[in-house]
A and B are shown apart, each in its own frame.
Chain A
Amino acid sequence: MLEIRNLSLTLEGEKGSVEILEDINLTLQNHKLYVFTGPNGGGKSSLAKVIMGIYRPTGGKIILDGEDITALGVTERSRLGIGYAFQQPPRFKGLKVRELIQIAAGNKPIEGCSCLADVGLCPEDYLDRDVDASLSGGELKRIEIATLLARNLKVAIYDEPEAGIDLWSFSRLRETFQELHNKYDTTLVLISHQERILSLADEIVLIAGGTIREQGSRDDMWPVIMDKSCGGRKICPGAGDENVECFR
């Protein structure tokens, strides 16, 4: 179980400090699948990065299974079982897919690991490819997801896993998340706007303007998010302003 208490994050930007997250309180249970959704720039990825330890929070606490991990760095949190699949994963000149997945898997042999097949990539074709510019965006993204699938995690966060992925692989990916959820106790967090990802959720967390606007079961949240007549206006961060960019 991961608990986030009174969490805030301020980052230094070009125009001075910017408040990215404000007083976030959230409890993520084991064996539950959460989808974080909301407008671009609303704070979803930042919250994920604070959980992973990539950003240090300005205030508040993060507690994993009763242990305060707020002061721990990325490496320590990773070793405790937190994983994060990047929205835009980096490329590595000279590093092979096999090596990257081996690092992810730790001491486990990767032969027979289904993590590549689970994202629709044939291991024979991909294990000896370099994780460099020779891979398309969609291939890179699927390998990124595979690096999390190769691990045994307590909390796994996937940042817009569907971005750049073709329709056929997307169905496979969706099944993979469903299967993971059925088989393991892992707390799954998917950051997404995609209806077919949202429909996987046990709970949907709507994040906008750096705060949690609303949170609830999929059934409770569905009308709020899908309301075609813009019933979301009351939670819309720009409501009342003249130029409102809708996040639906």
Chain B
Amino acid sequence: MLNALDKHLLETVADLHDIPQGAYNIRKNGEGISRRSTANIEIKPKTDKPGIDIIVRPGTMGESVHIPVILTAEGLKDAVYNTFDIGEGADILVVAGCGIHNPGESETQHNGIHNFIIRKRARLRYVEKHYGQGEGGGQKTLNPTTIIEMEEGAYAEMELVQIRGVDNTKRITKARLHRNAHLLVTERMLTHGEQKAESKILVKLVGEDSSTQIISRSVAQDNSQQLFYPRVAGYNRCRAHVQCDSIIMHQAKVRSVPEIAANHADAQLVHEAAIGKIAGEQLVKLMTLGLSESEAEETILQGFLK
């Protein structure tokens, strides 16, 4: 059912070598092609629009859900709405991700809208990788929107990665955190060629002692352009740390606009942002250990985006 190209895309975006263990839903060219629920994790298609509901029973421990999307046709515009309901006290891993192989000249686009409700004391690790390839001149566009509601004591780690080959991306991530909830967002982005990428993050800390950490690292190569808007607003006693780091190369352009807004005297919010070239002394240090200049550069970039 899965051909070699499908498998390559799945491996790249979801580290999958074949049909995964546990619950999964594989979507190809706008249709669900394979799905499995488990005793604790129910996956069912939405009736009103494309997409699925993923319902994790309270207390489910150590299970995983894989929901990769692959697009291998040109000129396809795919939009999908997925809703995750992570039950109280559950602890699970969700691996999403989208790989596009655009063989032709017209644009292939995937807009994934993910809604998360993370119930009391539930823990979620979410990994999303985006990747594009294809021999034609057709644009590969990925516009993910992620909306997260975190109940009391919930914990989530969101790892958002755009690897290579995505021509256009507009990423929107919004979260609301209630009492004692904690959200860690790590974003990794590499753009090259003429690519354009935009990422807007807004975290609202509404509950007492809620906290968030946003770590964004990006590399902009060739003529690519990147724009970052990480924002945090505190409405209670809360803590936030926003850190944006970009390595800029060639003729690329990077704009980073972090914003912190405190609406409460006990909100402790910090942001840092830095854009710069690879430091010459880092290259020289690795070369003194025997690496060539290009190997040294590759090592630095790989570590930075890890």
Contacts and interface: CB of A to CB of B under 8 A. Distances in A.
Contact of B290 (A86, A92, A95, A103): A103
A104 B287 CA distance: 10
A93 B290 contact: no
A37 B255 CA distance: 47
Contacts of B293: 75
A75 B245 CA distance: 28
Contacts of B286: 103
Given A74-B284, A92-B300, A93-B303, A147 B289 contact: yes
A93 B281 contact: no
Contact of B287 (A78, A89, A93): A78
Contacts of B217: 93-94
A73 B293 CA distance: 10
Given A75-B292, A75-B293, A90-B281, A95 B287 contact: no
A74 B300 contact: no
Interface in B279-306: 279, 281-282, 284-293, 299-300, 302-306
Nearest to A132: B303
Interface class of chain A by DSSP? mixed
B290 A79 contact: yes
A84 B288 CA distance: 7
Interface string A82-101: 01101001101111100110
A78 B284 contact: no
B303 A92 contact: yes
B284 A54 contact: yes
Contact of B306 (A73, A83, A86, A94): A94
Contact of A95 (B284, B288, B299): B299
A46 to B, nearest CB: 14
Given A90-B279, A90-B282, A95 B289 contact: no
A106 interface: yes
Nearest to A147: B289
Contacts of A151: 289
A84 B286 CA distance: 11
B300 to A, nearest CB: 7
A99 B284 CA distance: 16
B303 A78 contact: no
Contacts of A100: 289
Interface in A47-97: 52, 54, 73-75, 78-79, 83-84, 86, 89-90, 92-96
A75 B302 CA distance: 20
A106 B290 CA distance: 8
A75 B287 contact: yes
B285 A78 contact: no
Nearest to B304: A94
A78 B289 contact: yes
A75 B304 CA distance: 22
A139 to B, nearest CB: 16
B211 to A, nearest CB: 19
Contacts of A86: 281, 285
Interface in B209-254: 217, 245
A74 to B, nearest CB: 4
A75 B299 CA distance: 15
A93 B216 CA distance: 12
A44 to B, nearest CB: 17
Contacts of B289: 78, 100, 103-104, 147, 151
A84 B289 CA distance: 9
Given A78-B287, A78-B289, A103-B286, A95 B303 contact: yes
12 contacts: A54-B284, A74-B288, A89-B285, A90-B279, A90-B281, A90-B285, A92-B282, A93-B217, A94-B217, A94-B304, A94-B305, A95-B303
Interface of B: 217, 245, 279, 281-282, 284-293, 299-300, 302-306
Pairs A-B, 10 closest by C-beta atoms? A94-B303, A95-B303, A74-B287, A78-B290, A90-B281, A94-B304, A90-B282, A104-B289, A75-B287, A94-B306
Given A54-B288, A78-B289, 17 more contacts: A73-B287, A74-B284, A75-B293, A78-B287, A84-B288, A86-B285, A90-B279, A90-B285, A93-B217, A93-B245, A93-B303, A94-B217, A103-B290, A103-B291, A104-B289, A106-B290, A151-B289
Interface of A: 52, 54, 73-75, 78-79, 83-84, 86, 89-90, 92-96, 99-100, 103-104, 106, 147, 151
